[in-house]
Chain A
Amino acid sequence: MSVLLDIQGLSKSYPGVKANDDISFQIQEGEIHALLGENGAGKSTLVKMIYGLVRPDSGAMILNGEKFAPPKPFFARQKGVSMVFQHFSLFEALTVAENITLGMDVAPSRKELSAQIRKVSNEYGLPLDPDRLIGDLSVGERQRVEIIRCLLQNPRLLIMDEPTSVLTPQEVETLFGTLRKLSANGVAILYISHKLDEIKALCDHATVLRMGKVVDTCIPANETARSMAEMMIGGELEMPKPREFNPGEAVLEIKNLSLDSTDPFGTNLKNVSLSLRKGEIMGIGGVAGNGQDELLASLSGERLVDKEMIVLKGAAIGRLGPNERRKLGLLTGPEERLGHAAAPAMSLADNALLTGSIRMGLANKGFLKHRKIDEFAKHIVKEFDVRTPSIKVMAKALSGGNLQKFVIGREVLQSPEVLVVNQPTWGVDAAAAAAIRRAIQELAESGAAVLVVSQDLDELMEMSDTFAVLAEGAMSKPQIAEGLTIDEIGLMMGGQLEGAQHAEA
């Protein structure tokens, strides 16, 4: 094997941060090379430089023995470097073929392209129908579109940024099959993931980044997930301790909840039923777009449903709005931090007021109690270790992890009886994620019932007492989480809700 890409001393600084500091390593032809590191370690900056989206301050790259310094992605693609993004750059209202044409620099005719898509997609075990609308495809199928778009341009190096974070376990297996086939055909793959088991199973080499520097390299097959995690964080890994599960009486009951989505590509909820007990953390898994947003909206009161569909402590609340539900003890934390959970251009104090005014008594007959508001905001900042210069800072000025700690803390500190959160640790670094999970667990220990909707199965397995899956708007029967295998969950996520028989909760 010969060296495909030789990275020599790349550095890139942003105001206040050295994102990449003298990074050097090599990628061989046909190898699957993992790039490991926590959020903010500099992985994204590095691959953006390779793909031509960001220009390095110093350092050089040699591709196939030639100097390689792409000023734009177009040039990188011409030299055979392609990238599949974590957030797909796809157009929902256009067809698969149209999306692929748009991403190609020289596009063949419609007919030829459709034939090529069929051929390549079958060759690599990723069947795709060129005439379907993207909006009608599952997340896994959308990723196929991105991959096929890259493959049609015969890449030498394929960069994949967190490709499996949105896939079901079965889809991950299919993807790995494809990647191994590509690697056997001589295509090198630069694979970014924080799922260490996957890296162990798939990758030939790994380069570990921390704080913008290369701190280690290893052969994943010879390491354990734990040892790689410790290389990433540069210290001992703290393992969460298991908790006891003694549920109390039911506080929240959802009975045959059905709701039509308002999003043309959304999923309608079909007869969702569950019963959530005091002290219980129920994890709801499933691939995004299977009804999670609709479930959250119906629980928060943003969308009203039939009165009897949602019952809180014996009271039918299906037709009550968000503030009335807060008064009764049902609080929610939506997925989108900026714009949904928090108003981006308002201060932290104002954001604290927005959901806290009812339960914390922050207003009196329409007049705001500024001192109490500030106290509450400061309390959140202190308890949840939100790193901010002051509570007068605008929400959008905080980093994702800090703002997430703030919005979750805001709900937790109102001592809810039922808390519903969607993707509580999405895009948050490991330390902040651990803090958020701990807070949610402590809340449950104090007797509240918590519903956690997430796509991160590892997170759900770590936190939940009981576990269910949303697939195409229907929900599986909640089961005791302990002892569920990834295969069983995968089957549930694929829509075979009754397929996995396990001890029922």
Chain B
Amino acid sequence: MDFSSLNPVAMIVLLVGAATPILLAALGELVVEKSGVLNLGVEGMMIIGAVTGFIVATETASPYAGMLGSMVGGALVAMIFGFLTQFLRSNQVATGLALTLFGLGLAALLGGDYNGIKPPPTPRLNIEGLSDLPIVGELLFSYDPVIYFSIFLVAAVWYFLNRTRGGLILRACGENHDAAHSLGYNVVMIRFGAIMFGGACAGLGGAYVSLIRVPQWTEGMTAGIGWIALAIVVFASWKPWRAILGAYLFGGITILQLSLQALGISISAAYLSMTPYIVTIVVLVIMSADRKRASLNAPACLGRSFHASN
């Protein structure tokens, strides 16, 4: 077997690329869940982001406008979810699942005319001197801007949740919505805002797939990574820094199995493609084995509808 094709630096670069859409979507969902809402529609919001981002980018010939468009698109479908669950108090699980199906269908409809087109390219970072450094330049200074943004977003979400009053209020709504209400906070609007943020993040994650990672539009191209993002939130026990770890771990396994397939290992490719998902399930089982610890980190009101009453 020839292992020389496994260039570690190239693999890490690929890994980061594979992990970034998951990381973005997971961060958004993390904030949503911290506010006490379970939105299972991440996959649907991602695919909508992928298609709206793609359309806006090709029409305006600007990848950045496309990314902005994907965030708006993701946030708009999230608004449907928010309206249904927060104002009409529909069941969050059922509504989230419906949102995924709805998003997949709507995206296929919107993207019908955009099959087989190439989107405008997103330039990579190129800093004179730094980006040309051997290995270090490639590992740290040669990514596209969204990757740097995603890392920045991790820090920003952490800072917001743990160091600002707004973040404290958001967490309070997720811990005990009745108490938050009795202290005079508008639980419904806070959750609605969090849901919109989650939609925007998932949308950007989707656009990363269609504009940078693939880059083209095909139906169903997010291929289940929205579900992985949901699992990563649990894996991260609702902590932003651990979401990076989870997303990069998943990205790493994805890249590794692709490389092994390329090497022509004698295991069926189907088994290799399963591994990232199987590993995710195994990790989730290990994480939840200790009931006490699992429920310690979870927002106590996660997935529960809030009824204001006196």
Chain A residues proximal to chain B, CB less than 8 Å = 48, 53-54, 72-74, 85, 88-94, 98, 101-103, 107, 260-264
Contacts and interface: CB of A to CB of B under 8 A. Distances in A.
Given A48-B310, A262-B292, A94 B168 contact: yes
Given A48-B310, A54-B310, A89-B178, A102 B292 contact: no
Contacts of A264: 292-293, 295-296
Interface centre among A48, A72, A101 (most CB of B within 10 A): A101
A92 B292 contact: no
B176 A92 contact: yes
A56 to B, nearest CB: 13
Given A48-B310, A89-B178, A94-B175, A263 B168 contact: no
Interface of B: 165, 168-169, 171-172, 175-176, 178-180, 182-185, 291-293, 295-296, 299-300, 310
Contacts of B171: 91, 93-94
A-B residue pairs, 10 tightest by C-beta: A89-B179, A264-B296, A91-B175, A89-B182, A262-B291, A264-B292, A91-B176, A93-B175, A91-B172, A103-B183
B196 to A, nearest CB: 23
Contacts, number: 57
Nearest to B163: A110
Contact of B292 (A74, A89, A103, A263): A263
A89 B300 contact: no
Contact of B300 (A93, A98, A261, A262): A93
Contacts of A54: 310
Given A262-B291, A264-B292, A264-B293, A74 B300 contact: no
Contacts of A73: 182, 184
Contacts of B292: 260-264
B96 to A, nearest CB: 24
A176 B175 CA distance: 31
Given A48-B310, A74-B184, A264-B296, A98 B179 contact: no
B234 to A, nearest CB: 16
23 contacts: A54-B310, A74-B184, A85-B182, A88-B179, A89-B179, A89-B183, A90-B176, A91-B171, A91-B175, A91-B180, A92-B300, A93-B299, A101-B168, A102-B172, A102-B180, A102-B183, A103-B183, A107-B165, A261-B292, A262-B291, A262-B295, A263-B295, A264-B296
Given A89-B178, A92-B176, 8 more contacts: A54-B310, A72-B184, A73-B182, A91-B179, A102-B169, A102-B183, A103-B183, A260-B292
B280 to A, nearest CB: 24
Contact of B168 (A92, A102, A260): A102
Contacts of B300: 92-93
Contacts of A85: 182
Contacts of A72: 184
B20 to A, nearest CB: 30
Nearest to A261: B292
Nearest to A93: B175
Given A89-B183, A103-B183, A262-B291, A94 B296 contact: no
A90 B172 CA distance: 9
A99 to B, nearest CB: 8
B292 to A, nearest CB: 5
B49 to A, nearest CB: 31
Contacts of B175: 91-94
A263 B293 CA distance: 9
A89 B291 CA distance: 25
Contacts of A90: 176, 179
Contacts of A53: 310
Contacts of A263: 292, 295
Contacts of B183: 89, 102-103
Nearest to B182: A89
A336 to B, nearest CB: 15
A35 B299 CA distance: 38
B181 to A, nearest CB: 9
Nearest to A266: B292
Contacts of B184: 72-74
Nearest to A135: B296
Contacts of A107: 165
Contacts of A262: 291-292, 295
Contacts of B165: 101, 107
B176 A89 contact: yes
Contacts of B180: 91, 102
Contacts of B182: 73, 85, 89
Contacts of A93: 171, 175, 296, 299-300
Contacts of A48: 310
A145 B4 CA distance: 63
Contacts of B172: 91, 94, 98, 102
B56 to A, nearest CB: 40
B303 to A, nearest CB: 16
Nearest to A90: B179
B185 to A, nearest CB: 8
Nearest to B299: A93
Contacts of B310: 48, 53-54
A260 B165 CA distance: 35
A400 to B, nearest CB: 16
A53 B184 CA distance: 10
Contacts of A89: 176, 178-179, 182-183
Nearest to A77: B184
A114 to B, nearest CB: 14
Given A54-B310, A264-B296, A98 B168 contact: yes
Contacts of A102: 168-169, 172, 180, 183, 185
A260 B292 CA distance: 9
Nearest to A104: B183
Nearest to B181: A89
A260 B290 CA distance: 11
Contacts of B168: 94, 98, 101-102
B260 to A, nearest CB: 40
A339 to B, nearest CB: 13
A445 B171 CA distance: 52
A89 B175 CA distance: 11
